[in-house]
């Protein structure tokens, strides 16, 4: 099992140049501490996120030596497929074969409006984009003909350093999206706030689709994360910002498995710590990760330590240090029999 870091910050975090520099410092820390990845995400019309995830991934690649670099996720239908394939191939070459693409269809129409892309055909556009990127990365020249895209004898140069192309992991939380992830992807990415039970059910559906398509399933779980030695300090640093982010994502429509909850102000931190966050002492974090691994079959994790409104940069670095020195080594040790 591996654990990476996902950066979810934007202009609301602070002065953009400063915030971007802090992301790069956190990426360097992830590289040093033994995390497996340092990935970026996007929304196109939001001050809570930066809208150019591949550009930021290039900067992270230049500042790191070991971690996977790329996206979790980029909103694939917003990109010209051949351009996305070429940018990802260059990232792979630049990073020495460390590129990793998490792709999704997105769930906010405003992202499509900002990019000038129709919302209505997003599923077909996503499907074709993934297939085009795969073909561009694995064939010297290729042709493509479907509903939205038509190419004759196209080459993307250079091709990626990784012989099988840049890995393509697909985000989904609908039945059709899970089937697409199984059919086309190298793995499935959960959303950040689905419960363990929801993830377990969706993981089973995804695995069935992957196995039917002859693909080896792989589940990557995105989780909000905060390890601590002082619960009081952790609640002060992490609690309010994480709860505010959870409520914002509920309002965005990204949290759909809270029976009886009809408004964001009904969401409690206790509910999310119990079943959705990785939050606690290092030992408690190891136990929580183990539950997701054993029940839902999670293969690896992407941890979010910082949200658009906090915690502050230095506190995040301390939390990453604690996780890297006390949680990651424990995950590598064999389980002790009961």
User: What digits encode the pLDDT tens for the residues 189-237?
Assistant: 999 999 999 999 999 999 999 999 999 999 999 999 999 999 999 999 9
Let me know if residue 298 belongs to a domain: yes
Let me know if residue 338 belongs to a domain: no
Residue 338 has pLDDT above 80, yes or no: no
For residue 63, the tally of other CB atoms under 10 A from its CB is 16
Specify whether the CB–CB gap between 105 and 118 falls below 8 A. Answer: no
Peptide bond before residue 80 is cis, with ω within 30 degrees of 0: no
Domain boundaries, position 100 = 2-332
What mean pLDDT value characterizes the chain?
A: 95
Specify whether the CB–CB gap between 242 and 212 falls below 8 A. Answer: no
Q: How confident is the model at residue 135 (pLDDT cuts 50, 70, 90)?
A: very high
Q: How far, in Å, CA of 120 to CA of 44, rounded? A: 17
Residues 6 or more apart whose Cβ sits within 8 Å of residue 334: none
Specify the range with the lowest mean pLDDT, choosing from 5-9, 68-72, 129-133, 252-256.
Answer: 252-256
Specify whether the CB–CB gap between 281 and 228 falls below 8 A. Answer: yes
pLDDT of the residue at 285: 97
Token pair in block for residue 246? 């959870």
Let me know if residue 30 belongs to a domain: yes
Query: Which is it for strands 68-75 and 150-154: parallel, antiparallel or unpaired?
Result: unpaired
Token pair in block for residue 231? 């619960």
Let me know if residue 168 belongs to a domain: yes
Q: Return the CATH number at 83.
A: 3.20.20.30
Please compute Rg for the chain using Cα positions.
19
Let me know if residue 183 belongs to a domain: yes
pLDDT of the residue at 55: 97
Let me know if residue 163 belongs to a domain: yes
pLDDT (mean) for 278-303: 97
pLDDT in tens, 65-93: 999 999 999 999 999 999 999 999 999 99
Domains identified in the chain, total number = 1
Give this prediction's pTM: 0.94
Let me know if residue 251 belongs to a domain: yes
Let me know if residue 337 belongs to a domain: no
């Amino acid at each position: 099992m591996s654990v990476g870091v996902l950066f979810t910050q934007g202009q609301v975090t602070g002065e953009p140049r400063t915030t971007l520099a802090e992301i790069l410092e956190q990426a360097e820390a992830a590289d040093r501490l033994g995390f497996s990845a340092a990935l970026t995400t996007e929304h196109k019309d939001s001050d809570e996120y930066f809208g150019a995830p591949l550009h930021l991934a290039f900067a992270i690649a230049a500042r790191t030596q070991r971690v996977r670099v790329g996206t979790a996720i980029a909103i694939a239908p917003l990109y010209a497929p051949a351009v996305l394939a070429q940018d990802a191939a260059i990232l792979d070459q630049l990073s020495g074969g460390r590129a990793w693409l998490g792709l999704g269809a997105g769930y906010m129409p405003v992202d499509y409006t900002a990019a000038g892309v129709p919302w209505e055909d997003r599923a077909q556009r996503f499907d074709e984009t993934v297939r085009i990127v795969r073909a561009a990365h694995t064939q010297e020249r290729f042709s493509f003909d479907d509903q939205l895209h038509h190419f004759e004898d196209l080459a993307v140069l250079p091709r990626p350093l990784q012989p099988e192309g840049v890995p393509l992991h697909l985000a989904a939380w609908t039945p059709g999206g899970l089937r697409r992830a199984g059919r086309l992807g190298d793995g499935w990415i959960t959303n950040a706030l689905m419960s363990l039970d929801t993830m377990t059910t969706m993981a089973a559906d995804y695995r069935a689709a992957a196995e039917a398509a002859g693909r080896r399933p792989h589940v990557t779980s995105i989780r909000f994360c905060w390890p601590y030695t002082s619960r009081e300090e952790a609640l002060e640093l992490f609690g309010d910002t994480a709860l505010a982010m959870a409520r914002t994502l509920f309002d965005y429509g990204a949290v759909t498995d809270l029976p009886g909850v009809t408004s964001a102000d009904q969401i409690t931190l206790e509910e999310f710590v119990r079943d959705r966050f990785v939050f606690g002492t290092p030992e408690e974090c190891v136990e929580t990760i183990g539950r997701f691994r054993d029940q839902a079959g999670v293969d690896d994790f992407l941890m979010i330590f910082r949200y658009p409104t906090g915690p502050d940069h230095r506190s995040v670095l301390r939390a990453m240090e604690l996780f890297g020195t006390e949680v990651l080594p424990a995950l590598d040790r064999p389980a002790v029999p009961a």
